[in-house]
Amino acid sequence: MRFVSKNTHYLHYITKKTKEHNSDNISRTKAYQNFYKLFPDIKWAFVASIVSRNAGWNMTDLFLSPFHEISGKKERNQLFMTYERANWLIFSDAYPQLLIYQLSLQINMPMFHMLPAFHVSQYMVDEWQRYWKYGDRERILLALIINEQNVIQQPVIKQSYFKYKIFFRLPYLLQDILLLNAIIIPASNNKLYGVNVHDFTKLTNRISLGKKIASIIFKPSVYSSIYHFAESNEHTGSRRDYEKYFTKPIEKAPILRTVYPVISHQDIIRNDWYKKGGIKKKWLKNVTADLNHDISSSFYKKRKMFYAYSKVRKIL
């Protein structure tokens, strides 16, 4: 009876903490980073904080003039909701996993049997149990990358609203065709690392993207600079967080909390993607990114093209 009571207490605590930190992009980013500071063996938490920063930057980019020229307020809000919904869903799935791992360490007992209560896939239940036994940091990093991209595949990427209102519309298609999207990884050594994002709607591409991002972040030659930047610069949701060091922007994006309200999400019952589709062998392959690629040069050249296109379109 006491064990059941304790389990109920843990469930309530994890639910409360997850909801508390899942209010917006900034709170999620901070929660991932703070967890990584406490438990650096869970490398995915730091990767998630970097990707979450980028999600915030993408959100506030929607207030820049080119987006106003090529899309209406309704379209921009829909694109924001795509970023927000994916960001929210991943956190609602991943953060309970992180807290249950923390709880397991604190009481020195694996508590991963609690994961299904938070709709976590059987795949991750098995992987966490394996991690507890063998401590393979690279495997749990890869497992979390695979899992979270599967989590958003049906509810966001293939959901009819997002599919037809976002992924088939000009603002998204233009960004994809011109390779305007990228994951930017700022570092305190005055460099911007990163990876271009293309064909985001394809699950295998997003998994490969996650692996590339992790391969950059944890390269011994740059890890300390990337971590130092993240620790030294509070996430505001605006690219000015890093642009103030690296480049003079054409236009400054606003701070996220000055332009977006807290969004209330409906948490639908999720089907276990693993039981339906399993794991593809290609998801387990090692993928790395080229550290020498100058992402800042290509990214900002394309942004200038985007500004030029929007002006020409306005004239015509």
pLDDT of residue 179: 47
Does residue 152 register a pLDDT over 90?
yes
DSSP track, 25-38: HHHHHHHHHHHHHH
Report the percentage of the chain scoring pLDDT > 90.
Answer: 67
Cα(23)–Cα(20) distance, rounded to whole angstroms? 6
Report the percentage of the chain scoring pLDDT > 70.
Answer: 89
Amino acid symbol at 249: P
Does residue 192 register a pLDDT over 70?
yes
pLDDT of residue 156: 85
Alpha helices in 110-266 (DSSP H): 122-134, 137-152, 160-162, 170-177, 203-217, 223-232, 240-246, 256-259
pLDDT of residue 5: 64
Cα(50)–Cα(216) distance, rounded to whole angstroms? 11
CB 50 within 8 A of CB 240: no
CB 129 within 8 A of CB 110: yes
pLDDT of residue 199: 78
Arithmetic mean of pLDDT over the chain: 89
Express each pLDDT in 163-185 by its tens digit. Answer: 556 665 555 555 554 445 789 99
Query: How does DSSP classify residue 283?
Result: G
Give the mean pLDDT of 157-164.
Answer: 68
Give the mean pLDDT of 206-235.
Answer: 97
Higher pLDDT pick, 250 / 4: 250
Phi, psi (degrees; rounded to nearest 5) at 183: -90, 115
Higher pLDDT pick, 51 / 294: 51
Cα(63)–Cα(60) distance, rounded to whole angstroms? 6
Cα(223)–Cα(250) distance, rounded to whole angstroms? 29
pLDDT of residue 316: 59
Per-residue pLDDT band for 162 (boundaries 50, 70, 90) equals: low
Higher pLDDT pick, 163 / 76: 76
Express each pLDDT in 116-146 by its tens digit. Answer: 999 999 999 999 999 999 999 999 999 999 9
Does residue 16 register a pLDDT over 70?
yes
Tokens 């296109």 -> residue: 309
Taking alpha carbons only, the member of 121, 118, 120, 101 closest to residue 110 is 101
Amino acid symbol at 297: S
Give the mean pLDDT of 268-278.
Answer: 87
Helix axes 73-107, 122-134, angle to 10 degrees: 40
pLDDT of residue 174: 54
What tokens were used for 299? 């990214």
User: Which residues face 195 on adjacent strands?
Assistant: 183
User: Of 24-38, 164-178, 244-258, 301-315, where does mean pLDDT reach its minimum?
Assistant: 164-178
| Cβ neighbours of 138 (radius 10 Å) | 11
Give the mean pLDDT of 257-280.
Answer: 91
Using DSSP's 3-state secondary structure scheme, residue 191 falls into: strand
